[in-house]
Structure 1
Amino acid sequence: MPSAPPAVPTPTRAAPPVAKPPVTVAVAPESTPSPRYRIEVRNAGSTPVDTTVRQELPPGASATAITTGGRASRAGGQSATEVTWQLKLPARSTTTLGTTLTTAAPDRPLTAPACAFARDGNRPYDCATATWNAAAPAAPQETAETPAWRRTPVLLAGLATVAVLAIGGVWTWRRRRRRPVAAALSPGGPGTVYPRPATPRPVQVRRTPSVWLIVPVAAAVLAGTVGTAAWTATREAASIDTDSQPTSGAWIGQGANGALGEPLRESAFEFTVYRVACEPGRGARQCQATVGVRNLTPEQQSWHGRLQRAYLPDGNFVTADEQATRAANQGRDVFAQPMAAGSRTVLPLVFTVDGQGPPEQLELRSGVFSAGVRVDVP
């Protein structure tokens, strides 16, 4: 039995640089009332290249306008629709394609990735993705934030401070007023002031504020403290993202869920699943996922096929078929070498599944303890 992948990658050789594909793809949404995308396919080489360009359409969307040469069809084994072009790209040229879509929910964002494949339609050259958003209505004027001096906790704290200062001032003034008089006045008017003989000074008893002053002040201070604490706790609770659900069992990073064409980041990699297509039929068959992988760290990173999973409708999962994945990558073992820092690659991952239904979700990870990402498959 093969050994399990190491918990912490320890590559010993420098990762080789990723070769630049001969064909690159760029996708951009148009500023139109209906979803529209512009796809630019560029051949930077010195020889012509035959390529198949596929654009995956979101569930529930259909194409109403396609540039010349494209046709809409069902993706392999899936319910989603794709638009396909068969192109012969001249050397050092750029070809622009376009699609216009319609959907039952025109106000929702629509993500439609596109990939350029080799002529056989299986080996990807490059992929790109874009999300179209409806024109946002004029935003209402934002209400000015309540000034700090008008917030209830601040007012309570201020009142408590004023009350304490007032009581302290009254108490000090009364103490000074009780000092003995140092001079006497004559009955007929102003006279000579004579010093009085020294007399024993009576013992002064220190007066304390009465209970009717202490209780309101204590209540005001307590109310201010409780109000401030409650307000702070409410603000902190409101800032928590309750929709964030990390993958169960993950130790490093935050899990991310998304759909086809959405870049999803975990602890080390950014994964983007552009397309999932399965062979027709029943029983054991292969499903190929076209995946973009970007190393976001400043160090080379290793990853392993047994950490990449496809979840089936019955709740079970299968890991990547490493032999079939090597064959789809023309004999190259994509897991044998670590990915260089900051590099990006687009490659096919193959999963061998049983049953008629395609996978419902893919889970991709860079390491054993990584939170990973989950991608819903339509």
Structure 2
Amino acid sequence: MEPSDGESGRGARVAVLIGAAIVLVSLCSCVAAVAAVVTWGDDVYRRLVHDRGETVALGQAGRDGAFEFTVSRIDCGIAQIGDSFVNQTAIGQYCLAELTVRNVGKRPAIFEDALQRAYSPDGARYAADSAAGILANSEHQLFQNQINPGNRVTGVVVYDIPQDRHIAELELHESEDSAGLRVTL
């Protein structure tokens, strides 16, 4: 027995609805995957990087790429940076990480404060405050400085963190793609 025209039309509509449902589910899955990467991607990336990167304590030298970093101290609780004419006030408190960077590679490399991260004990990540860093390094040549092989520069990386927090770890990078050096405080 052959299907009537009404039955074949209904079958085509069902097939189209099933196909549309499959496309809709696929699209929602892609959106969910992108949202997951955006939400948790940095944490996953950080765990992968930490599995490969070196860890040192405050005052110890450690290497990432062509740079050897030594963090000599961290001072927090600073409300303002600069002088009486040009200054900047912290939103929370400034924490200053004093460090030495030596190029142990074979070609010039540029130090960028934007690549240097700080973490609180609960894992909150803080970016460097470049404007405050320029004021804090008025007598140093650390930022955006091309460091030739064998040369060493000293300066301060500045972080503006909440008043009730402190820095437990720094993650220092020679480049955006490097594994990173962890400095535990």
Q: Which residue of 2 aligns with 1:349?
A: 157
Following superposition, the deviation at residue 280 of structure 1 comes to 6.0
Q: Which has the larger radius of gyration?
A: 1
Q: Structure 1 residues 255 and 280, CA, compared in 2 at 3 Å: closer, same or farther?
A: same
Q: Using the TM superposition, give the Cα deviation of residue 314 of structure 1 relative to its aligned residue in structure 2, in angstroms.
A: 3.4
Output one character per residue of 1:337-365: Cα deviation in whole Å (capped at 9) or x when no partner: 32111111111111110131211111100
SS of structure 1 residue aligned to 2:131: helix
Write the distance in 2 (CA, Å) between the matches of 1:272 and 1:280: 22
Compare relative contact order (CA 8 Å, sep 6+) and give the higher one, 1 or 2. Answer: 2
Where do 1:1-378 residues align within 5 Å? 248-250=47-49, 254-279=52-77, 284-330=92-138, 334-377=142-185
Alignment partners' CA distance in 2, 1:269 and 1:336: 14
Contact 1:326 1:332 (8 Å CA) reproduced: no
1:283 positional shift? 6.4
CA deviation map 1:235-292 (0-9, x unaligned): xxxxxxxxxxxx6444xxx511111111011221111111001016896010001101
User: Does the 8 Å contact 1:270/1:295 carry over to 2?
Assistant: yes
Asked whether the equivalents of residues 292 and 347 of structure 1 are also in contact (C-alpha less than 8 Å), the reply is: yes
Letter matched to residue 178 of structure 2: S
Amino acid at match of 1:312: S
Unaligned runs of 5+ in 1: 1-246
Return the alpha-carbon distance in structure 1 between the equivalents of residues 157 and 112 of structure 2.
Answer: 11
Letter of the 1:321 partner, please give it.
Answer: D
- Root-mean-square deviation (CA, aligned residues, Å) is 2.2
Bigger fraction of residues in strand: 2
Question: What percentage of aligned pairs have identical amino acids?
Answer: 34
The answer to which structure has the higher helix fraction is 2
Amino acid paired to 1:349? V
Q: Is this contact kept in 2: 1:326–1:333, CA < 8 A?
A: no
What is the alpha-carbon distance in structure 1 between the residues aligned to residue 155 and residue 125 of structure 2?
21
Partner residue, 1:147? none
Q: For residues 103-124 of structure 1, what are the alpha-carbon distances to aligned partners after superposition, in whole Å with 9 as ceiling and x for unaligned? A: xxxxxxxxxxxxxxxxxxxxxx
Task: Tell me the CA shift for residue 332 of structure 1.
Answer: 6.3
Distance in 2 between the 1:297 and 1:280 partners? 35
Check conservation: 1:309, 1:319, Cα contact below 8 A: yes
Contact 1:307 1:364 in 2 (8 A): yes
Q: 2-side partners of 1:265 and 1:258: how far apart?
A: 9
CA change 1:304–1:322 in 2 (3 A) is same
Alpha carbons of 1:353 and 1:268: their partners in 2 closer, same or farther (altered >3 Å)? Answer: same
Is this contact kept in 1: 2:96–2:159, CA < 8 A?
A: yes
Q: Is the 8 A contact 2:78 2:94 kept in 1?
A: no
In 2, Cα distance between the equivalents of 1:366 and 1:257?
Answer: 15
Cα distance in 2 for residues equivalent to 1:307 and 1:299: 19
Distance (whole Å) between structure 1 residues aligned to residue 154 and residue 111 of structure 2: 14
* Secondary structure in 2 matching 1:374: strand
So what's the TM-score if we normalise by structure 1? Answer: 0.32
